[in-house]
Amino acid sequence: MSIVVQKYGGSSVSSIEKIKNIAKNAIKRVNEGNKLVIVVSAMGDTTDDLLSMAKQISDNPDKRELDSLLSTGEIVSSSLLSMAIKSFGYDSISFNSFQIQLKTEGVHGKSLIDDLNEKIIIDNLNKNKVVVIAGFQGVNNKGDITTLGRGGSDTTAVALSVKLKGECEIYTDVDGIYSVDPRNYKSAKKIDKIDYEEILELASLGAQVMHSRSVELAQKYGTKIYVGQSLGEMNGTYIMEVKDMNLESKPVTGIATSDDDVALSIKNISNNQNIISSIFSEIGENNINVDMISQTTPIDNKINVSFTVPEGDLVECEQILLKHVKREDIIIDKSICKFSVVGIGMKSTSGVAAKVFKIFNENNIVIKMVTTSEIRITCAINKEDKIKAINLIAKEFNL
């Protein structure tokens, strides 16, 4: 008898009717001979609504209290789903992070999973109960509730799959992973299977399909993940190590975009590595993720440094910069979109960057910053050019 860990996102549990349908499907899977663990997100827009209320109290709400507030959404949906399963005559039990001893470390809002007590879950599975877990949350060494960041329920599900040695199924409102967000490009193709490296790049760059840390965890332990539509047929996408891919015929697998970043530039800073090191060290100590760093050539021993950070970290990052440079030397650009093309095939195919740059140039799409890796090219462009860029690049690479 196999253990299956399922995760349902907020849109999948957005109504009582949907929760009841998930309960019926759970019973079907149990009757097929599976032991079932279900991880749930908060219902619909609950997390956004709670965050909005917190922002009405304070522009910068206390992070400990914010985590405590946001964690309640998953507790509601997990309890309701467990009730629904019981209402259909099958046994179930719900747990929050404290009850399964899901230990976290790190800062509030961005905590990392350290460990969890799988024995509590196994004991209840052996009693033929469907176990429902509140995702997205944990408890730190102070006993405070923490959250794992947006999309963190994916990481909860993968962590449970690793500990329970079970299968992992992630259910959303789309029927798999697409080469491009279908909302932005109607001809986007669904991907049957995608390598960990590729989906990790896409997820970290803004593709809102999987939480990037969940993919890192799955790759580390070789856990295959199925991503599909809630209560749909099993014809979604598998995230796994792909060994039989024809790299030369497919240099680009997908496009990811993010409108949730801002670019900061520091003008006329002294070309002193101690100053630059101090700035980025302090930013790192505050758990702010920096991306797309670029530096100009020194002129009269002065340089300009530009980088991007998540928009939610802008205020904190600006405060750090003001300790080192004058306000008039800081330029903030909130109009950027991070546009990325990703594909393992780039490792063996030359000319991908040249094609991208040529297309952008011919269509008056301004590139503000560029970073690359072996399997991706990321450009900061104006948000207003995003849809045009998606359509042009998707057609060029048959995505």
Rounded distance between C-alpha atoms, residue 314 and residue 375, angstroms: 28
Kindly state the average pLDDT of the residues 122-144: 96
Rounded distance between C-alpha atoms, residue 394 and residue 377, angstroms: 14
Rounded distance between C-alpha atoms, residue 320 and residue 329, angstroms: 13
Q: What is the pLDDT of residues 37-65, one digit of tens each?
A: 999 999 999 999 999 999 999 988 999 99
pLDDT computed for residue 247 by the predictor: 47
Kindly state the average pLDDT of the residues 123-133: 97
Q: How far is CA 95 from CA 76, 110, 121, 219, in A?
A: 11, 21, 9, 26
Q: For the purposes of burial, counting CB atoms within 10 Å of the CB of 275, is it exposed (0-12), middle (13-18) or buried (19 or more)?
A: middle
- The structure's pTM equals 0.80
Average pLDDT of the chain to the nearest whole number: 90
Check if the beta carbon of residue 86 is closer than 8 Å to that of residue 92. Answer: yes
Check if the beta carbon of residue 146 is closer than 8 Å to that of residue 139. Answer: yes
Question: Does pLDDT of 1 surpass 50?
Answer: yes
Q: What is the pLDDT of residues 294-350, one digit of tens each?
A: 888 888 888 888 999 999 899 999 999 999 888 898 999 999 999 999 988 888 788
| Number of other residues whose CB lies within 10 A of the CB of residue 208 | 16
Lowest mean pLDDT among 108-117, 248-257, 372-381: 248-257
Lowest mean pLDDT among 141-150, 201-210, 251-260: 201-210
Per DSSP, the residues of 317-381 read HHHHHTTTS-GGGEEEE--EEEEEEE-GGGGT---HHHHHHHHHHHTT----EEEEETTEEEEEE
Q: Is 191 helix (H, G, I), strand (E, B) or coil?
A: strand
Q: What percent of the chain has pLDDT over 90?
A: 62
Rounded distance between C-alpha atoms, residue 135 and residue 12, angstroms: 14
Rounded distance between C-alpha atoms, residue 177 and residue 298, angstroms: 44
Sign of dihedral through CA atoms 245, 246, 248, 249? negative
Q: How many CA atoms lie within 13 A of 300 on its CB side?
A: 3
Q: Which of 25-29, 172-176, 179-183, 193-197 has the highest mean pLDDT?
A: 25-29
Q: What percent of the chain has pLDDT over 70?
A: 96
Q: What is the pLDDT of residues 333-342, one digit of tens each?
A: 999 999 999 9
Q: Of all residues in the chain, what percent are helix, strand and coil, respectively (each to 5)?
A: 40, 25, 35
Q: What is the pLDDT of residues 210-247, one digit of tens each?
A: 778 889 999 999 999 999 988 776 688 999 987 765 54
Q: What is the pLDDT of residues 193-213, one digit of tens each?
A: 898 988 888 877 766 677 788
Q: How many CA atoms lie within 13 A of 239 on its CB side?
A: 35
pLDDT computed for residue 299 by the predictor: 86
Domains in the chain, CATH or no CATH each: 3-173 (3.40.1160.10)
Check if the beta carbon of residue 352 is closer than 8 Å to that of residue 346. Answer: yes
